[in-house]
Amino acid sequence: MTKTPVLITFFNRPDNLSKLLIAISPRMDLDFYFAADGPRHSEDKQLIDQCWQLVAKYLPEHKESKSLKRESNLGCKFAMKGNIDWFFSQVEFGIILEDDCIPNSDFFDVTIPALHTFDDRKDIFGISGSDYIKSDESPTEISFRLSRFPMVWGWATWSDRWDNYKVEIPDGDEITKITAERLFSNKINPRYWFFRNVFRRRFLEVEKGIIDTWDYSLVATLWRQDMKFLQLNGNSVVNVGFDHRATHTTGRAPDWVPVAYSRNIAKNLDVSNYNSSNDLWLITNVFNCTLNEVIKNLLKGILIR
């Protein structure tokens, strides 16, 4: 049996990792790799050690060569980049799951064949199994829609696509302007300016280290290369990581966060033509490109020029 490589990344939440391992360890068609950031202090070390013990418990035959362990803490941005770099230095394609992203069987049943079907579509960067748009607002007759936004709560890609990834965003203003012009028909639309303001600010915050994250750099990579993600029409991943221990999702989950798996996800691997309306929904509801956010950015801008 040919097995699909899967990278599991984790840090200091063994309860979340346990839920993920219970969900996926019984599958015989997956080849697991594990990577963790290093501890910041002794409490982290104890929790990270517990996580590695869980790996040994649920996957007793797991090879040490497929584990990336660190002695020191790199932080979210550089640890995740390093984890995925390490993974794709060994495999040509694969799935990436963080410890709080719990997939169901549909995730693998659609994502694995899609990795093979769309391997030659070099305009597609990756495949996402989480869907933030409610079922009544997104068609479900076909498997995928195209998006300019990478949703990374359970996703997959190829090593040659990942080679395009750049953690630095020195051109944030330029790529935001170009993408705004691709998304909006005219500059009179106030949402055009909300979009430019919010993403320009987020890219600046990532570049300056104010936000310790890697995924905005992935957004920037997509826009710089004019590539898209395949977005599953239906949700096959539930994020259980909204609490005070998270790096970013520390508060109550927003209303757009899916709390259940979708039923009857299409598995025909058809892809709809690109429709910006879905991305425009994400821009407003997920990325909060609104007047209120622009006002906040104007106030913050005084401090982070």
Summarize pLDDT for 186-234 with one digit per residue, the tens.
Answer: 888 999 999 999 999 999 999 999 999 999 999 999 999 999 999 999 9
Q: Which two tokens stand for residue 285?
A: 């509801």
Q: Where are the alpha helices (DSSP H) in the chain?
A: 14-24, 42-58, 76-88, 105-117, 159-162, 172-183, 190-207, 215-225, 276-285, 291-301
- 58 within some domain: yes
- 220 within some domain: no
Task: Find the mean pLDDT for residues 47-60.
Answer: 96
User: Which of helix, strand or coil describes residue 84?
Assistant: helix
- 187 within some domain: no
Residue-number span of the structural domain to which 109 is assigned: 4-122+150-166+235-264
Confidence of residue 289 (pLDDT cuts 50, 70, 90): very high
What average pLDDT does the chain have? Answer: 92
| pLDDT digit string, tens, across residues 241-274 | 766 554 545 567 788 899 999 988 999 999 999 9
Element (H, E) at 94: strand 93-98
DSSP state of 261: P
The tally of domains found in the chain comes to 1
pLDDT at position 299: 81
Element (H, E) at 230: strand 228-232
The region, left, alpha or beta by phi > 0 then psi within -120 to 50, assigned to residue 44 is alpha
> Quick check: 51 pLDDT over 90?
yes
| pLDDT digit string, tens, across residues 105-155 | 999 999 999 999 999 999 999 999 999 987 655 556 899 999 999 999 999
Exposed/middle/buried for residue 304 (C-beta within 10 Å: 0-12, 13-18, 19+): exposed
In this structure, what is the dihedral angle of CA atoms 196, 133, 186, 205, given to the nearest 10 degrees?
0
228-232 and 144-147 strand pairing? antiparallel
Please state, for a pLDDT cut of 90, what percent of the chain lies above it. Answer: 84
- 93 within some domain: yes
The candidate with the shortest Cα–Cα distance to 118, out of 158, 91, 150, is: 158
- 13 within some domain: yes
pLDDT at position 136: 56
The total number of residues shown for the chain amounts to: 305
Long-range CB pairs of 196-201, under 8 A, 24+ apart, other chains included? 197/289, 197/293, 197/294, 197/297, 198/287, 198/288, 198/289, 198/290, 198/293, 198/294, 198/297, 199/172, 199/287, 199/289, 200/172, 200/173, 200/176, 201/297, 201/300, 201/301
Q: What is the pTM for the complete model shown?
A: 0.93
- 42 within some domain: yes
Q: CATH number of the domain that 110 lies in?
A: 3.90.550.10
CB 235 within 8 A of CB 111: no
pLDDT at position 248: 47
